[in-house]
Structure 1
Amino acid sequence: MKIKPLDILSKYYGYTSFRKGQESIINSIINKKDVLAIMPTGGGKSVCYQVPALCLEGITIVISPLISLMKDQVDTLKVMGIDAEFINSSLSTTEYNQILENIELDKYKLLYVAPERLDSMEFINLMKTKNISQIAIDEAHCISSWGHDFRPSYKRIPYFIKSLNIRPIVTAFTATASDEVKYDIMNILDLQKPDVYITGFDRENLSINIVKSSSKNRYLLDYIENHKNESGIIYAATRKEVESIYEGLLKRNYSVSKYHAGLTNEIRKENQEKFINDEIQIMVATNAFGMGIDKFNVRWVIHYNMPQSIENYYQEIGRAGRDGEASECVLLFTPGDVHTQKYLVEVGIDNPERKRIQYKKLQQMVDLVYSNGCYRKSILNYFGDDLEGKCDNCSNCLNEGEVVDKTLDAQKVISCIARMKRSFGATMIIDVLRGSKNKKVIEQKFDSLTTYGIMKNYSAEDLKTFINTLVAHGFLEVVENIGVRGSFPTIKLNEQSMRVIKNEIKVEFKESRVTKSRYVENELYERLVELRSEIARENYIAPYMVFGDSVLKSMSSTYATTKEEMISISGVGEIKYEKYGNKFINIIKEYLLEYGIDKESNTKKLNNNEDGEFLFVNTDIKLYEKLKELRLKYAQKEKTMPYRILSNNTLKEISGRYPKDNIELNDISGIGPVKIDKYGKDILEIVNSYIKENNIDTLWKEKNKLKVVIDGESRKNNEIALDLLNQGKSIEYISEELETSISTILGYIYDYVKEGQLINFKLNLKDFYNNEEKEIILDACRAFGEEKISVIKKNLPDYIKYESIRAVILEKYLEKMGYNV
């Protein structure tokens, strides 16, 4: 009987439907057609050749460039109960011979092979005798010398295919390929009338943020502190930069490792495996790291330096959110990044034509950085893909900052370049515009130009950014003097420059700011994550191979406690349920029992309220998560933190009381008429749809003068904060959990101690100020008194935060009371 691909997908992978494009590709392969598939990273390329491998008679050979990629994929297949193995340089002679023996005995359905192994006559002669159903080439762009990651070893693949007695189906997969690379793949591999699939390059779950800032390190530290419970990758352009970032984060006690070509193979392998296995949360690396790694729960990728091309950039950010969950990609940019990449091109590429192409790609990357339009649209257009309208998930689309008319400043720059008579580099132009006394400026007599010093109000860096923005928008042109020793790029005028001077067109740019988001998990989810880690350690596999984050979230929100409920969750499947299902069910049952949760109504049992003082509300987790998503969209749109839109407790109260109209919504704590006008329509639409979809019988009860108690939590914020401190939680953690400022938490501690209470928890108050700030704050305290915080703040420099003032005052008082701080 013919095996159906959808049955395989359900049984082994736990999915009930294919992703976009997968089914068509699989059907082409099953019908014995060669295939070239260009699919976005995380789009499910491996399923496209693995499912046919299980449908077709014989063995499928997968050619893959990285050892770590092979191991990850083979381990995942084995966990799913599929016979698979790999051959690469990591195997001992005994292991290699055993695998050859098993191939002889037809024990495998999939065999992963490094391209370097295709030179082995022993291997070739063995494969000539086998029924090979398919040869799948992963990361197929590596075969093109014009691709961004060319590997000479890939040139062996066509000769291996031709050496076989019977030509199998040949399939090629890649995430990024220009037209030039696409034709190279088809021609070099000699694909026979291939079905070509381009499923689209868009990764909708990735937000794209480009930050043009001179304070990269400050931004990076703030971002990591705000996302310290998530897994992320930091890419830097050089080994030196990687080491510097790594040391800085290690010193601050973050869970971090590093990866670059200066480390030994053993150290690189060890560090990568720790990252994949969730033993460390942050990887700092050059772009050598991560190609093809199957770590599904990377929640963010930060580029500390701009990459050399849009292909590099898009492949590297593709390592985030492979599980389909929302993830963030941040590019930190300063103009110096361009010089770094130009240097790397000069020292890394000898061929003049390849160097010219790389410079063109670099300029396209610079243009993207300085673009005011939708970043996603620009990237997709680069790959020949279209996006209608805005994506509403990049920093340009989400930023509603006003468009600023920069025509006059542009005219000043253009006039200066025109008066300098010939092309010069940006540095010389900046020196003239800012009125520099530089020797070269004086020698050229540029100090006599009418444009000399007319832009003194700009800093050198801001003026460089402005000139680069003019280049990116086509108002100026860059001339690359390639092949000339000691050459540097110069800037010249073009037709658009002249139109600006004549006031025929305006120069308008949008001034942008980037917001940051927070992500908080629920308690049941954390317990399931812990169980997953235990299972992974016991079986020597990566945690995601057990279940992905999205699967655990579904378990925790639906309270799945039966086989049917587990199997219905996307990503479980029969094979994994048999292996792990009962263990996860037991944890969920324990949680339900511990908190007295009535699973049928998805709410916690209410305590008796005989005195009529309280209105007990129980969070509906699934509805609460939907409301959080809505809140995040508004927060991004309004460039603010989510809790400033509505607090967690307000969302929980909405989810537990199910208001159906504006009158009922007005009875919810923390919302009010103004916010109802802004957000009410969307909130009610979500609530009413949810009630209808889940057939929920709601019985509305007016709050009146009753005190709302959510999930049985009747303590005040200061009581919760002090309890958490006694449990060993950090002030930063509590601030995030309670959605209140660090300054407020420090105030709670100060008031508690002033009441004569003893504290037994550790405080690291020096984290909130430096010695210079401490002296300034103490002077202000002596002048205005320690109790008048707002007066002290008003009389201090703006850069000193409330939390610094609170920390200094609290530390002084604790020392007075005899505490060792």
Structure 2
Amino acid sequence: MTTKETLKKYFGYDSFRGGQEELTSSILSGKDVLGIMPTGAGKSICFQLPAIMLEGITLVVSPLISLMQDQVRALIQSGIPAAYINSSLTYRQVEAALYNAKNGKYKLIYVAPERLLTPDFLTFARSVKISMLTVDEAHCISQWGQDFRPSYAEIPEFINQLEERPIVSAFTATATKRVREDILSLLKLQNPTVLVTGFNRENLYFEVQEPSNKMQALFDFLHENRDKSGIVYCFTRKTVEEVCEEINHQGHSALRYHAGLGDRERHQNQEDFLFDKVQIMVATNAFGMGIDKSNVGFVVHYNMPKDIESYYQEAGRAGRDGSEATCLMLYSGKDVVMNKWLIENAKDTLSVDEETATKLKERDYRRLRDMTFYARTTDCLRGYILRYFGESPKPHCGNCSNCGTKFETIDITKESQKILSCIARTGERFGAGVIIDVLKGSQSKRIKELEFDKLSTYNISQEDVHTLHSMIEFLVQQDYLHRDDGQYAILSFSSKSQNVLKGKVSLEMKLPKEVKSKVKENAKTRKSGTAILPPDREELFNSLKILRKQIADVQGVPPFVIFYDKALIEMCVQLPESEKQFLDISGVGDAKLAKYGERFLQIIKEYKKEKSIKTEPIMSKSVGQKSRKDNLKSLILPSEDVLKKIEIVEKPSQITFIAQAINLVMAEHECSTVSPIKISEWLMSQGYLKISEQEGKRTKIPSEKGLRFGISQEKREREKAKYSVNLYPSSMQEFIIEHICDILEFQTREKSKK
């Protein structure tokens, strides 16, 4: 079989995703590889698929028991023989697994790094043909990574002990340039293919809040997301206990997870979460690495993590199946203080020499500073993360809280002079808290003992505390102030400070002009990747979920191992009638068709009969352009090269002008043209516009989702008649162009209805 035939047969996918084919081909040609791919991008297939096709066994080094169990369950469901060897097995179970492996029963064996150099495993490894050694979560080998594990350092020694060196492949979701270099060097990868596919997760919505009451903010969010499964991360065991108890009191179902619990309770709670028996997991960062639960709809950080790497890895556990998901951080200044305490008391610096310990601490303070900047930035949150990992994103993503908040630019020169003057008069010896207390005229005992109430800068600011914090953060970020990375975050002058004090520069910064409830509203239609569940198919979706749960319970596996939500949604959209059509569903391979096809097809058949559905199934974007052309033969769809020629203007434009720019290029290349009215109707079908009735007139106006993407309204007057027009920013123009094939198909279907 070819790689694509193997991909379809075992995994149910018709085509590779970005980077998968290149990495797979490199492995099959005998090359080492390093793949840096974001969570949800399909890293596992990059080594699982070649493992099936290579002669012999593939060993997968994995850091967590839960990760091994999830992946082995999924492989077995797909008809791929696999096993894991770790501390959860008894000696006899390990013995049996190794015996079966020697006799060619498995293609993949997942193993904990601690077991590699044990005599029994080493004897086994030398007695069989190991075609590939895969290092999953490869960042764990680097001392400069966020999850350094000393046991990973044993991997190179294990490779050296083998009779014949296998192909070595390494994969991780988050790795800075230094960590990537460590992986290449420490694993001694030979002339490897190195592929960084990009870190962007378009389906994730990022938001930062700085609420006065975190618990209430959390409750408000959970109320808006009552039907979704999610994770709430907390700093400490105590906070986990408190938050979990309060969530349950609010009527949600939540369980806890932290290192202070017994192994049995931790394991049971994790299983209940994976098996959809409980909605929410409240946990420390001890939970989650490698958890393959596909339907996590949100990740909330109740406290700010210590670095961007940790945050993005943890947030990335949402939306693994491509569905829209929310990543919310509830920030407070106390989080910074706690993180600094953790840095000062870090255990990973106890086993290294003093010089290395100092460097690690400096590294951690730099990372904390970058994390704090993220929490306080007014720029695009997604862009901030992507720039941190070395990418060059667009300035406006349209899918984060900052891109959806209206800001105003204000002059802060005078207020900055007050701040700098106060820092100078207090001797450049204090952090932001003391400086703000002085500026606001605090009556605290400490301020009076220091006699700061006698300073000329005492009680001279009319700004609120939150705004002053934002201004100080801005001055630090723009290098007009220096903040010590130590525990007390002392503020002092930089080389640029005097320019502000002497009035040689003017400073402007963005502040929120309109702060609404920025939490993303519940979508009325479910989205999974590119497939949208129509509202009238919710009943069928629920029936398929019930069947999936019944099968999963009988087999003792999580429901998502049977089928992802994405596959169920596609079934509802496509309404397959035959086994051949069922195989067209993303994620359905030969093994799952044989096991489950008949039962799922029967439910779909009964649903169509009950609803008297005789029409052709609604088309999904995921069908692909070739299939779209077959079904809509009258359309001549543009290629990507044609779309690149369409002009995007920086100035927000009306839909008429956008359509003109599109059709000018389309006509030139003999492609179908689009009506501006149909573009508006399509945007309304996607939730970016809505109907408003005013004075008996029905007009299309931006929805909350549209406003977040930057669509605005402008009032105009012509011949004394007042009216409003919708204006679409460059990011929305680009979005429309990217989806022009879908809009053309929508236009054709609407015409055919008439």
- For the aligned pair, the TM-score class normalised by the smaller chain equals 0.7 to 0.9
Return the offset for 1:75.
0.5
Return the offset for 1:342.
0.8
Partner of 2:579: 563
Partner of 1:764: none
CA distance in 1: counterparts of 2:470 and 2:283, whole angstroms = 26
Matches within 5 A, 1:720-759: none
Partner of 1:698: 753
Return the offset for 1:626.
7.8
8 A Cα contact 2:75 2:81, kept in partner: yes
8 A Cα contact 2:573 2:618, kept in partner: no
8 A Cα contact 1:335 1:465, kept in partner: no
Return the offset for 1:479.
1.1
1:435 match: secondary structure: coil
8 A Cα contact 1:417 1:429, kept in partner: yes
Return the offset for 1:458.
2.1
CA distance in 2: counterparts of 1:345 and 1:338, whole angstroms = 11
Q: Which has the larger radius of gyration?
A: 1
Partner of 1:427: 433
CA distance in 1: counterparts of 2:725 and 2:422, whole angstroms = 53
Check if 1:689 corresponds to 2:687: no
Q: TM-score, normalised by structure 2?
A: 0.81
Check if 1:574 corresponds to 2:574: no
Return the offset for 1:439.
3.7
Picking from 283, 300, 324, the partner of 1:302 is 300
8 A Cα contact 1:400 1:637, kept in partner: no
RMSD (Å) for aligned C-alpha atoms: 2.8
Over residues 561-597 of structure 1, what are the superposed CA-to-partner deviations in whole Å (9 max), with x where a residue is unaligned? 2222211121112221111112111111222222222
CA distance in 2: counterparts of 1:218 and 1:675, whole angstroms = 38
Bigger drift between 449-458 and 76-85 goes to 449-458
Check if 1:417 corresponds to 2:423: yes
Partner of 2:607: 591
Over residues 34-89 of structure 1, what are the superposed CA-to-partner deviations in whole Å (9 max), with x where a residue is unaligned? 11111111111110000110111110000000000000000100000001000000
Partner of 1:505: 506
Cα 1:298–1:138 change in 2 (3 A) is: same
Which runs of 5 or more residues in structure 2 are unaligned? 350-356, 527-537, 620-680, 691-701, 714-721
Matches within 5 A, 1:409-558: 409-455=415-461, 457-459=463-465, 463-481=468-486, 488-501=488-501, 502-511=503-512, 513=515, 514-520=518-524, 522-558=538-574
Picking from 395, 403, 414, the partner of 1:408 is 414
Partner of 1:157: 155
Query: Residue type matched to 2:468 in 1?
Result: L
The structure with the greater share of residues assigned to strand is 2
8 A Cα contact 1:559 1:599, kept in partner: no
Query: Residue type matched to 1:494 in 2?
Result: S
Query: Residue type matched to 1:248 in 2?
Result: E
CA distance in 2: counterparts of 1:222 and 1:51, whole angstroms = 43
Over residues 149-186 of structure 1, what are the superposed CA-to-partner deviations in whole Å (9 max), with x where a residue is unaligned? 01111111111110000000011111111122111111
Q: TM-score, normalised by structure 1?
A: 0.74
Cα 1:687–1:195 change in 2 (3 A) is: closer
CA distance in 1: counterparts of 2:172 and 2:725, whole angstroms = 47
**Higher relative contact order by CA 8 Å / sep ≥ 6: 1 or 2?**
2
Partner of 2:330: 332
8 A Cα contact 1:4 1:55, kept in partner: no
Picking from 230, 235, 238, the partner of 1:237 is 235
Count of aligned pairs: 644
CA distance in 2: counterparts of 1:222 and 1:462, whole angstroms = 24
Check if 1:370 corresponds to 2:425: no
Bigger drift between 519-528 and 178-187 goes to 519-528
CA distance in 2: counterparts of 1:689 and 1:306, whole angstroms = 44
Query: Residue type matched to 2:135 in 1?
Result: I
Over residues 264-317 of structure 1, what are the superposed CA-to-partner deviations in whole Å (9 max), with x where a residue is unaligned? 111111111111111111111111111011101111111111000000011011
CA distance in 2: counterparts of 1:695 and 1:453, whole angstroms = 65
2:403 match: secondary structure: helix
8 A Cα contact 2:369 2:485, kept in partner: no
CA distance in 2: counterparts of 1:40 and 1:693, whole angstroms = 36
Query: Residue type matched to 2:511 in 1?
Result: K
Matches within 5 A, 1:349-360: 349=347, 350=349, 351-360=357-366
Matches within 5 A, 1:581-730: 581-600=597-616, 627-631=685-689, 634-638=703-707, 689-691=744-746, 694=749, 697-699=752-754
CA distance in 1: counterparts of 2:391 and 2:235, whole angstroms = 28
8 A Cα contact 2:688 2:705, kept in partner: no
CA distance in 2: counterparts of 1:636 and 1:401, whole angstroms = 17
8 A Cα contact 1:14 1:574, kept in partner: yes
Return the offset for 1:677.
5.5
Cα 1:11–1:631 change in 2 (3 A) is: farther
Sequence identity (%):
42
Query: Residue type matched to 1:557 in 2?
Result: V
Bigger drift between 278-287 and 565-574 goes to 565-574
Cα 1:469–1:214 change in 2 (3 A) is: farther
1:401 match: secondary structure: strand
Partner of 2:633: none
Return the offset for 1:635.
1.5
8 A Cα contact 1:235 1:287, kept in partner: yes
CA distance in 1: counterparts of 2:290 and 2:224, whole angstroms = 27
Check if 1:386 corresponds to 2:392: yes
CA distance in 1: counterparts of 2:27 and 2:618, whole angstroms = 45
1:395 match: secondary structure: coil
Matches within 5 A, 1:798-809: none
CA distance in 2: counterparts of 1:121 and 1:316, whole angstroms = 35
CA distance in 1: counterparts of 2:126 and 2:446, whole angstroms = 70
8 A Cα contact 1:403 1:508, kept in partner: yes
Return the offset for 1:629.
4.1
Over residues 457-497 of structure 1, what are the superposed CA-to-partner deviations in whole Å (9 max), with x where a residue is unaligned? 524x553444234323433221134xxxxx62200122343
Picking from 186, 192, 197, the partner of 2:184 is 186
Query: Residue type matched to 2:522 in 1?
Result: R
Return the offset for 1:430.
1.8
Query: Residue type matched to 1:638 in 2?
Result: L
Query: Residue type matched to 1:84 in 2?
Result: A
Cα 1:625–1:320 change in 2 (3 A) is: farther
Cα 1:148–1:259 change in 2 (3 A) is: same
CA distance in 2: counterparts of 1:125 and 1:57, whole angstroms = 20
Partner of 2:167: 169
1:534 match: secondary structure: helix
Return the offset for 1:515.
3.7
Return the offset for 1:637.
4.2
Return the offset for 1:685.
8.0
Partner of 2:70: 72
Over residues 727-779 of structure 1, what are the superposed CA-to-partner deviations in whole Å (9 max), with x where a residue is unaligned? xxxxxxxxxxxxxxxxxxxxxxxxxxxxxxxxxxxxxxxxxxxxxxxxxxxxx
8 A Cα contact 1:37 1:198, kept in partner: yes
Which runs of 5 or more residues in structure 1 are unaligned? 482-486, 604-622, 646-672, 700-821
Return the offset for 1:144.
0.9
8 A Cα contact 1:515 1:636, kept in partner: no
